[in-house]
Each structure stands twice: as structure tokens, then as C-alpha cells.
Structure 1
Amino acid sequence: MNDFRTWLTTIRSVMGRIDVTEKLKRICLFAFLTGLLLASCQTAPEKKTYQIGFSQRTGTDTWRKTMLEDMNRELSFSPEIDFLVKDAGGQSDKQVEQIQELINQHVDLLIVSPNAARPITPIVEKAYQQGIPVIILDRRTDSDQYMAYVGADNVEVGRTAGAYANTLLNGVGNVIEIGESPGSSADIDRHRGFVEAISRHPGIRLVKKLEGDWDKQSFAGELTQLLKSQPTIQLIFAQNDRTALKAHAICQQLGLEQRVKIIGVDGLPGKNEGIDLVERGILKATVLYPTGGKEAIRTALAILQKQPFKRENRLPTTLIDSSNVRIMKLQNDKVTEQQADIEKQSRRIDDLNQTYTSQKNTLYFTLGSLIVAILLGGWALYLFRTKQGAYQLLEKQNGEIREQKDEIERVSQQARLATEEKLRFYSYISHEFNTPLSLILTPTEDLLSKKNVSQHDLRNNLSLVQKNAYRLLRLVDQMLDLRKSDAGKQRLRTAEQDIVTFVRDIVLDFRRKAEKQRIDLQLLTNLSTQPVWFDAEKLDKVLFNLLSNAFKYTPRGGLIHVRLDRLDNQVRIQVQDNGQGMAPDEQAHAFDLFYSGTKSFNLAKGVGLALSMEFIQLHRGDISVQSVQDKGTTFTILLPLGNQHLETEEMVGSTSRNPLFQHQFLVEADEDVEAQKPVSLPAKQMGTLLIVEDNDELRNFLVNRLGAEYDVVAESTGEKGWERILEIIPDLIISDVMLSGTSVDALDGLELTQRIKTDLRTSHIPVVLLTANAQMENRIEGTRAGADVYLTKPFNTTHLLETLRTTLINRQKWQQRFASDFSPQSGNRQEKKFLNELTALIEQNLTDPAFGVEKLSREMGLSRVQLYRKVQALMDMNVMDYLTEIRLKRAKYFLRETNKPMAEIAIETGFNSAAYFTTFFKQHTKKTPSEYRKSPVGA
């Protein structure tokens, strides 16, 4: 109806825009309604041909659910069948009522799965006598008045189980049988078949048959008693797999699961069903008892369609044990998979049918519209031709607008990505430049603030300033090269030179550094000389970058080999190390500008490798990388021989290495000093300070500068820092925001701060963050992570020292406040939670004289040392003093507010005797309990 109104509105709107007579309008509307009427006549819903009623005893167990699924699956191929299902919930009276309802509905065929044979027989006979075909499914009735029966032979099921029991027991043993629903045909027939089978073997004795329902465990007590009283029982035959699983649980409780073997019936797929239980070894075997749902529907369709059918449909059974359970499971999985495909195809067919119906309706509507078009005739054609030019122009404009919109979106996306890259670039630039600037300005300010400076301090600080000045010079040089490359102003200045001598000189520049780090540095070549046209300054920078990276990521005692050889018309230079290597994604993006992968970004590495590729490509050569994580990395450079590939202006005749760059080379070769290990100093007055900083020089400077006032411990990564925090529980933490790490889960400064502030053991520790990012959003991010102080680089040493002192003084004020009130109403949420839990645990165990620090730390989930340092940091008292305060507070309350005798008060406050309580109380209050009770309030 909504579609009809929409189309009607559209037609009226179109006719309203064109100047036609009222008569034409009525003709068009009549034609449209005619087409719509044709469409509605063709989409009348299809009526069902037959009604099949199904009455089942219950649908809650897996076997019956599987039966219903099989029936629905078979009915999916017969959409003309209306399938009515009634579930009696295991009640015979209710099933009789439901069958009567189906009879009253005049169903064409009735399928009945009886709950019990005798109560259901009369109503089934009534339906049969009224001419309704009846199919009996699974269990029989006490009458033969039915059209067909579908089900397995329960006697054969019992025989199969009995024969397998003889195989398991080798003809000798005692057996217990657990039946089905008492009085059901399945219970009677299976028992008869089982007894018949084992009676052929005199050595097998049926000790007792227990009554059991699949939904109850009424046999549990009797089975337990039998297993305890008769230890010779070796096998249990359960008439269904659920009963078998419950019997196994009883055997498991008695420790008999290995001795007592269990056989079940049903053999359904799925978790905790027969096939799964056999595969897991819980059951020795299960007898496959088919549901018959599919066969029942096929028989029903044959009856309704007047086709031949069998009156007695015996379903085959088989035994599933360890020899064939795997095959059965695979077959069931395959059937399930195929059924899923069938259902998927069915849904697809439904979708296609809906599409077909929609297209059919559209077709009829189109026919109506065609009639309108014919009636309008030439007049409409004239209007169309008149306005065709305007429509084409409008479509063209719409297309241009769409293209412009797409282009705007594309440019906007590029601009957004470019902005993000720009912001990230500035962030990295700030970090890379501010760290050496901190190591230049901070030592300089430190020297200027001292009245007397020793020659040793002066030389060390100036050396640090010099190294970081050269580091800044190299970074600036790289940024200028990058700017030239982006602007397309990089030009080659090549000359024919001996590549062997050139590479050997560069490797020798790193010799001292290799000796200090005990790295095996070698140039491996079989060439004595090899002339190559190349730009010495640019190739010098490429090899320097590759060797610097190799030294950075190669551990002490490792190897770095430079190989030089000739391949056809190319020279190959390889820089190989056995360092930490790269992950696959890092290897794929090794030469991408600013790519960092799982590690923190390093400007020298990111720009250096990107420039290296740029310089090698200027030589018409190639550079590549091969790396295996934790095994090493090999960079390969290929340079063409001869000068045919060079332009005339690129051949200058002679070039040489930049002397400034050689000097820088020597300085850089000595910059990786070994990180100083934390010095074990006597405890300082201000407390323990942990520094987490990945730059070795800045970390060592802070250790030396702050070591005079604090016990300083230093770590280079966030992971190591976290481990050390849990080990020592420091009083204060200084951390850089951007920390490098080798693992995928490496922690940066913000993540480390967040972990510190959310962990109950460390939430009280103040954190000072050092960063090159001074923007407000970065400060907000650091504060949100939980940082107490946020300092930007380069920082002033005096300011840092005063900040640390002020932070610790504020912490002491909090200690005093916590110590004066055991349940503070403000402050850090984690600290309040910690103190509330601590106080609650003490008060709960106050009456236990043995309750002390060991039990308290165990209950709090902390080590003894962590608990001691946590309480000391929060309250400026040890744990025992805090426990004493609570005992005294409770004792004072009892003495003032109650009339309890001293012995009872002593017990309730955790003392073994009243005498010891009196002595303890007097030591801490200078009064005996009696004196305190008699003294006025406030005295």
C-alpha cells in the first residue's frame, strides 16, 4: 500500500509539471491503476496443500531435537506442507489432549511419537478410525491400528549391546543395566534383547536392572550402593547415552572409572553426546539409535501423494566404538557441513524468489506505464525531445558535481593523512632534537651553577656537549639532504674511484668502536681493486647509516661483516650483522620514511634509510634488505659498472669524502658508551628514585646528578622498569614518554605510568614524565595516564631537583593525613581502596592472636616487602604499628562504651590473656585498662 501511494504521488507530480488536459490525466491514472491491479493479482500468497500434525512426547532432550531437525530438514524440500508440532513435555495426559486438538483441526496426516504405549493407544485408534493416516514413530502403541511404523528395532539394540558386552568381558563378568522410562516399549524391548544376548554366555551375570529416566537421576543412590557393595561389577549397560554419562560420573566419584566399562545407546553427534563420549573414552561403545525423523516425513509424503510405501520401516542400527568412532564423527561433521550448505542455498533460493516476485511486480507496473506512454503518444515524444537537451545538461552537471565531490573527499583524505604525518613528524623531530639539546643545555647550566668545577667534571660535561652537538649536526645534515630530495635538487657528482679502498677506509673508521663493543668487524672481499663511478660523499653517508644501524642493533660479542664482490656488470656491497633483526612488516617498510613498526621511532634510522635508498637510486643502483627476527639483518647494495648510465653533468672527474663528515664519523664511532650499572650507595635521606630512560647518556647524566640526594636505580626500557618497580617499590619514578623496546608488547612512558597507577602495589608512587612534546594535548594525555608531574625537554636541573623535592614533601603530607585517619574521605581512589581493604582485613581477624604480617600480606596478595613499603609510603608507619593502632582503638572503644570484663575485651582484641592485654595497653597508653575506663573522656 505504501508503494502504491508513492507511485501515485509520483505520477500526479509528473503530470502536474506538464501542461495536459484533465482528460489525459484521468487516462494515465486509469492505466496506472490497471497495471497495479495486474501486479496485485499475481502476488497472492500461495496456500498450503497439506497439514501434517506431529505429537512428540518431549522436545527437550538432544535425541528428540535431532529428530525434529531431521523432519524440518526434509520438509524444506516440500514448502506446500503445513507442519504442526505439539510437545507434551513427557506427560501422557497432555499428549492425548494435543492429539485430540490435531484431530479437531482436521490434519491430513498424524505422526505420533508416544510417551507411553498404553495411555496413547485409544486416541491413536480414534484418529485412525476417523480416516486420518497415522504414522507411529520411535515407540509403538498397544494396537496395530496405524498406517505405518518408523523406528529402530529396540530388541536388536539390546542384542547389539549384549554381544559387545560379551566381547569386552571375554565371556565372564557381572553387569548392571539401567533402563529407559519404566513401562515404555523401548525399555522393555532393549532389556529383552540384552538379556537374550548375554544369556548365551553363562559367565556373564546381570546383577540388577535399575529403573532410570533420561531426565532424572533416580538410580544414583542405588547404583552407588551396588558399586560399593559388589566390587566385582565390571560393566554397566545404560539404555541411553545421558544415563550412561551420569553413571560414569558416579563411577568417577567412587574412583571406578577405569575398572567399570560403560555401554550407551543413541550415538548422537555433539558435545557430551554418544560419539563424543566414545571418542573421549568415557564410554566403551554406544549403539547408534537413528531418530527416523527423515524417514517419517518421507513415508508421510508418500501416503499423502498416494505413492507406494512400507508399513513397517525398520531403521538400521550399528555399534560405535573406538574402531569406528572417528569415521562416524567425520561423517556427521560432513553431513552437518553439507546441511549448512543446503540451508545456505535454500536462503539463497528464497532471496531469488523474492527478487523474482519484486521484478515480476515491476514488470506489471512497467506494462501499465507502457500503456500510459502509448496513450500520450506523439505529444509526450514532443515534450521529451524538447526537454531532452535540458536533461542531458542536468545529468552532465550532476556527473561533474559527483566527480568534484569524489575529488574533494579524496583530497580531504590525503590532507588528513598528510596532517597526521606532519604532526607525527614534528613529534619525532621534537623528541630527537630535544634529547641532545637536553644533554647540551643541562650539563652547561650545571657547570655554570657551580662555583668550583673540577677538571674531571669539566672534561666529562664538555665531552657530552661535544658529542651531542655533533649528533645535532648530523641530524640537521640529514634533514637538509631530505629537503633537497623532496625538492628534486639532489645531484650526483661522480668520479671513477677504487670502491675497494673506499669501503675499507669506512670500515676502518668503525674499528675502534667495534673493539670497544667486542664486535667482529671485517671487510670480506676477493677484489684487490675495482674502479666504479660513484659520488663519494653520498655513498659515504649510505655506508655510514648502514654500519651505524648494524652497531646499534648488534649485541656485544656479535659480528658485522661487510662483503664486497662483483656480479656481472654490477658491484655488490653487503652489510651483514647477527643482531635482533626485523619483523616481516618492518622489513617490508624498512626504507619508508618515518615507519617504526613495533619499536619507537628513531629519526636517524628512519630518515637515514630513506635517504640511503634515494642516494643509491640516484646512482641507478638498488638497495634491499633481508632479515630474520632474532637472527640478523643483511643490507645489499648493487651499483652498475661503467658510466653509460650517467648524465654528462653528473660526471665531475674527481670527488672525495667530506672532511667534516669524517670527523663526525670518528666522534659518532665513540658515542655508544656502555651504560653505567646502578651504583649501590648508602640509603639517602630523600629516598629511592627509579629512572627509566632509553638514551644512555641522558640516563647516566641523571644517575650521576641525582645520585647525591637519592638512591638511584636506572633502567633502559619500560618492561625492565616495571620489573624493577615491583622489586624495590621506589619512592619516586622518572620516565621518558618515548621509550624504545625490542618486544611487540614494549611499554612507552604513558603505558608504564598507567600500569603503575592502576596496580594496587604501586598506585601510591609519584611519577614524573620527561618529554619533548610540550603541546597541551600531550600534557592532557600524560595527566590522564596518571602522571604527577609533566616536564618538557630540555629541562633545568635545578627545576627538576626542586620538583622532585616538592613531590616527595606532598607525599609526606598525605602520609600524615592517612596516618591520622584510617578511612580518608578524599585522595587517590586506589590508595583509599587499599587502606579500606587493609583495615577491613585487620578488623575481621582482630580476635586471632596468630594474625600477623605474614597472613595479612598473603590475604592482600602482596609480598611482605611490598606490603611494608606500601604502608610505609602511605602512612609513614610500619604494618605492625598500624595493627597495634587498630587493636588499641578497638580496646578503647570497648572500655568506654561497654561493660565487658577485661578477659573478654582481651580475646576480642586478639590477646591470649587479660594479663598480657593489660601490660600491652599500659605500655602504649601509660594507663591500665581499668584506669582508662574510669578516667573522664578526653583525659
Structure 2
Amino acid sequence: MQYFKLTRLLLLLSIFTLIGQYSCTSTKENKKVVIGFSQTGINDQWRKSMNKSMQLQADFHPEIELKILDGNDNVKKQIEDITQLINDKVDVLIISPVQSKPITPLVNKALLQDIPVLIVDRKIDGQNYTSYIGGDNYQVGINAANYIAALSSNKEKKILEIKGLKGSSPAAERHLGFSSTINTIPNLKITHTIQGNWEANSIKETLNNLLSKNNNVDYIFCHNDRMALGAWEVLKQHNLEHKVDIIGVDGLNGPNGGIQYVKDGILKATVYYPTGGNEAIKYAIDIVQGKKINKNNILETTIIDSRNADIMKNQFDKINQHQENLLAQQNKIKEQEETYASQSSMLKVLLALFILSVLLGIFSIYSGFNISKKKHALELYNTKIIKQSLEIKEIAKEAELSNEAKANFFTGLSHEFKTPITLILSAIESITEKTNTNSNNLKTEITLISNNSKRLLRLINQLLDYRKTEEKKLTLKASKTNIFQFSTKIFNDFKIEAKKRGIAFDLKTNNTDLDLYIDRNLMDKVYFNLLSNALKFTPDNGEIIVSIEDYKNKNFVTVSFKDSGIGIPSDDIENIFKPFEIGSNNTKASSGIGLHLTKQFIELHKGEISVRSDQSTIFTIKLYKNNKHLLPNEIINEPDIYIDEEELTLTDEIEENIYQVTNVNNNDNKYDILIIEDNDELIKLLKNKLLESYKVHLSNGVDGVEKALDIIPDIIICDVNLPDKDGFVICEVLKNDLRTSHIPIIMLTALDNNESYIKGLKSGADSYLTKPFSFSVLSQSIKSLLYNREKLRYYYLNNVHKINPHEKFDAKDQEFILKINSIIEQNIDNSSFSVEAMAETLNISRVQLYRKIKAIIGVNISDYILDFRLSKAKNLLINSQLSVSEIAYATGFSSPNYFSTNFKTKFNITPKEYRKDLTNNNINN
């Protein structure tokens, strides 16, 4: 009996222990981080997308509980929702305000109760919040305006703007960005505006009435895609849906989203405006974890039109699929965690029942041992899987780094070739200028060297072009071109080689006056690749024929390249345009990317290329006539510049008088040029060519900034790739230094991508030349910059105290002159105001002030102050009733006599005579 009681006591103790463990586990698991979100409304697709992305992000964090309250687009309802979330003491409060002003006090209330507040999409009054997440609505308006400007021609175009809910920050900011940009474009005008509330039905009646009275509208800009759809439906009723282009905002993916509307032709374009839901939850979690976040987090917006709608849709579909896969995996992990928790709890039960196992016997011991063994095996298996996963990630990372290193190596190597090629071409240019033109043999040899140097450059550029095509960075710049003349020019480059080998080389056409829109740079590379291949594989005494066929009744032209070479095996035809593919019968050195690039370039022209090979090989290019198949931004009005020796010489002669720099032959008055370059050969070349006209100073890059500050040259030539600090840094330092900010800087670089151009412009460079460059182009750039500097000096010198801040000749110089004028104006009646006092006010030395003013205006600072006082005095003589003596003291002259002397010296008349002449003229008038 006593044994039975003891057993029962142990059983009860085990049960209570088990209950206690479950209770503790449950308490820990139920402790959640609560994030409250007050949404404006959840009826529209954009808000639903925001809520979905929030919920999806929250699902990745089991410890997060997300509460979303629907404000029904009603301010009063949203105030009640926010008050409820504050009273519930949520850990983080997220708000998307219906209107700005009514919600602001509640945000302050939450912050006073130590509840972090994230503002999403729409703003409140003021900056009193933890963080803002959303797109730049002002930029949205600018993007829409710029897109319309790109579509429109020079003819006047009328725009109707349909605005969002009055009082909401997106509507106000989108309107401001759009209208401010449109007002700067002469041929565009906002003729009408309609006030909506974000929904399609809110604008239909007003728009219908407007179009019934006046349907003279070219573009409609709607503040969101829903109102844009409503506008299209009204246009359709008036049969105007194909006449008026509509630009919306939101760019959601899905059957009822802006991307689909663009694909269906309902919208011309939509500005993608991210919801920010995903980011809001991420920042909320960072706040809970004690991490710092930015005050304002602006999300990127972009234009989506027919050119990129498919790409954007595919990207969003992939992202959604990826997120769904991640969520499915997360759910599986949760199931495994629950299974593991269940097993862990079972283990605890077993441990609790272990106390009874002594009474229950060997069976209970065996069961416990078996379960423990299985758990250990499971843990080992999980450890193995984790280790394998880490190894796979490490291998993938190494492969990615290896591929990137290879790509960077080839790109860097290609750029390194460009400096020696610059030296070769510049030397050839110099020899050509100095060589007797009657020496035909020497001229032929020089031409041969030049052509082969250019061919080497073509091969290097081919490597760079391949990298660009892989990164989708090549853009088309097509201009109107006579295709026969263009073909003849390239055709002639190959005549010498063909003649040497006895190859019959012929160019045929049925229309010598045919004009096509082509990118000359890219099409030059196409011709070069196809002709060089034809010469490479055609045996001596063979035949190469280029034929241009204009089909009168068709909208396309064909250019065929036929050779009598070794042909292409039939098995290789299908893969001939793939990168790094080399024909099985090709025994010659080949990179394997020439034909691949050729196909890419032709497809950029919206054309086609095909190949046929039996007894001979024929490559046929199909190009369309006119320019209707090209986008507006793919067409340029002027043809691309080509460095042609004869044309360049002629250009120099014509422009010489326009940009003539004075006193270049006087050694004391030569302009100072500082060359910052670490390549000794290039330094010697530039020095020898420039020394005749300029004072040349040199730096290897280590002391570039110091020499510039010491010399204060008139112009600086700076390489980008330098040993100590790169040229972008040197340029930025000099442009931000008061002493050197006025000096024009020419950047030299082997980098010819858009990112490098933009970086150079941001650092303050005035000109940007890529290697290899022609010295004639460099020389002309120097003359142009010095000429513009002289124009600027003339402007400042002849306007003195009338500098107009709206006429932006040079922002930093103009700001400096305006500051000088302001200081003189403040001390205009102080006769003891000196140059030293001016320098002290500007916090620079007297010598630095003298050099700066001398460089910008061309006069010393004392004369400038005197001219300013005299110009002010002249103005007072015209517009005031003050006596001459009063004006003298009011403008800082120590005595009336000193004032009269200086006034007569400058204007050839005394102050009294000048006023008398003014009075007589007024009486006569």
C-alpha cells in the first residue's frame, strides 16, 4: 500500500513537471513582436500589393505579428485605427496617411509614448517621425514630364493633367514635379487639370464634359494607373484612344496593373512607383533589434513603356515566384521546427516518465534509449546537410569571383593597350604633317602603319564591345547616311591587301544615292568584321564581292558579302553567330566574338543577318529604310564624328580664327598648362607638341594638387589612372578649392563607358577625352576652353556689380564674384575698406585673393573695388537726388575731389558735367 502511494506521488510529480515545462515553452513561444499598420484603404490593387508584400515579409519572421487596419480612405476612421494601435502599445507603428495634417498629431502622440513610427508612401506635416519609406513623388512628376518631352516633336503639344486626392502629399508632389519640368519646355503646355480621388470613376464625368467641348489634347498625365484606365475608357467613347497618349503612375504587375496596360496599348507608359511594404517591415524589424536606420529612405522609380514592359513583367514574375518559393520553404522549415518541437516535447515527456521507468521496467528503458539514438542520428544528418550547403555556397562564391576577375582582367588589359596606341597614332599624325606629300613611298608606309594601328585598336574595342553587349550597355545612335559612300570608304581600306594577293575585289549597287539610318560606329565594325573574315579565308587570286541591293517596292535593303573562300561546314552554320564559336575547318587565329558582335549590332538596328555557304560563303544583312522602326532616342540629328586626317586638318584651319588665343607667341604672356600624367612617353609627346604655344609644367601625379596650388595654371590636363590618387579625386579637390576652382580641367582616360563620363563630370571636369585621342582634338579642346575663359572674363569685367545670378556661366566662379560684390556693397561707404580686409572676410590670403580675381576677371582686386564704387556712384547720379559730395562719401571715397578725379579718369567726364548732361537730356525729351 505504501509502495502504491509512493508510485502515485511520483506520477503526480512527473505530470506537474511536464505541465510546468509546457507552460514555460508556451509562454516563450507566444511572446510576439507586434507591428501595427494603419492603411489608408485596401480596395485598390496598389494598396493590396503593399499589404501582400508586408505580410509576405512578416511571414519570414515567426516572432512578428502584423496587424493591418483598413482606414477605408476615411480620415476619421484612420484616426480611430491609429488611436487603437497606440492604446494597444504596439512595438512599431506604420502609417500610410489618408491626409497629412490630421494624422500629424497622432504621430507625435505615439512618439511621446516611445512607439517608433514609420511613415510609408504619403508624408505628414513636418519631419517628426522615426523614418519615411517611399518613392520620390516629385521625381515621379519629373520622369513623366521628361518622357513626354522625349516623345514630342518641336510642334506645340497640349497636356491634360489628372491629379490625385486633394490634400494628399503624393498628389501635391507629383503635380509640382510635373508642372515645374513642363514649364521649362517651350513646346509643351499644361492646358487643363482635373481633380480626382485616385479612383477611375472620379474623373470620368469631368473628362467627358471637357472632351465634348475641346478634344485638342495630345498627352494625358494621370497620377495613378486606375485613373489612367478611366481616362482611356472616356477617350475610347470619343474615338480618341489612338490619338492621345496616356502616362500613368504605379506600374503594378498583374492582369489589372500598369505593366499590362502598357503591353495592351492602353497606356503609352507608366512610372513604376514601388509600394515600400517589403522595406517597411524590414526597417521595423531593424528598429526592434536596436539597429539604426536612415531618417528618409527614398525608393527608386522608373519609366515603363513598350520597350521594357516585357522585361519588367518577367522580372516581377520571377521575384514573385522566388518569394513564393521562399515562403514555401519557410513553411516547410516551420513544419520541421514544429516536428522538432514535438519530438523535443516528447523527449521531455520521456524524461519525466523516466522517474516511473524504475517501476515500469526494462521496456521503458529500452524505448527511451531507442528514441535518444534516433534523435542523435537526426542531428548528425542535419549537421551534414548544413555543412554541404555551406560548401556549395562557398564554391558558388569562388566561381563568381573567378568569372568577375577574368572579365576585369580582359577589360583592364584592353584599356592598357590604349595609351601606347595613342602614342603610335599621335606620332604618325605628327610625321604625316611634317612629311613631304610628294614622297609616295614613305606616305604609303606611314598609311600602312596608321591603318594597322587602327586595326589593332578595333580588336581592342571589340573586346570592350563584347563586355558591353553582355551587360546590355550598348545604345544605338543612328544618323542619315549614304550607304554606298559609307561602304566605299571602308571598302577602300581593304583594297591594298586584296590587290597584293590578286583577289578580285568589287563593290556593286543599283542605287548610289540610297540613304539609310545607321549607327556609323557600329556599322563600321560590322563591315570590318565581315570584310576581314572574307580576306582571311579567301585564297590568293580568289574573289570578294560586296553588293548593295535596293528593292524599289519593298521597305528594306540588303547588303551581301560574297567570297570564294573555304566555306563553312553545314554542321557549324547554326552556331556561327554564338560567342567563342570557331568553325571546325578554321585553322587561323580567331577570337570567336567578331560574328557574335556583328549579329548583336545588326539586331540593334532592328535588322537581320543570315549566312549561306555551299561553294562560296555569302553573309546577307537586311536593313530597313527610313527611321520608323527606330525609337526617338536612337536617332541623332548630326552624324557621329570620325577622326579623318584631311577633315581634321581642314577643321583646324577653319576654327583657328574663332578660338585664336592672344599673346601665345610672347614668352612672358603664354598660358600656363599643367600636365598631370605618369606615362613618361605620353608626357614627352604632349610637352614637345605644346611647348611652342604654352608654358608647360609637369607632374607625375604624386604632387599634382600641390603643383596646381603653387602655379595656379590657366588649364590642367590630367590622366585618370595615376599612382597616388586617381584623376577624379584630383579634379574634385581642385574644383572645390577656392584658389583653383576656376581652372579648366581636361581628363584623359582609357575608360569610355557612361559611368566614367558621369563620374568625370561630377568631379568637375570641363572636357573628357578617351584614349587613343588625336592631338588635334586635344589642341582644339585647349583652345576652346581658354576662349570660353576669356569670354567669361569679358563678361565679369564689363558688368562689375550687375552680375546676374540667373546667368550661370560658371557656378563656383559666379558664386565667388557675387560674394565679392556683396562684401563691397556692405562696405560701400567705408573709405578705409582695404584689400586686406576683403581677404580676411573671405578667410584667404591677400596673394590668393589677388591671383583668384586676376584669373577670373583679368584685373587686380584694387581696380575691381574702385570700378565697383564708380559704377555705384554713376547709378546714384542717375537715380538719386544726392549731391556729388554726398555720393562721393556714400560710395567710400575719402574726398569729393578724389572721387571727381577717378570718375573723370574712367568715364572722361566729371560727375557734375555728367549730371548736367542728364538734366539737359531730360528737359529736351
TM-score by length of 2: 0.38
| Greater Cα radius of gyration, structure 1 or 2 | 1
What TM-score do you get using the length of structure 1 for normalisation? Answer: 0.37
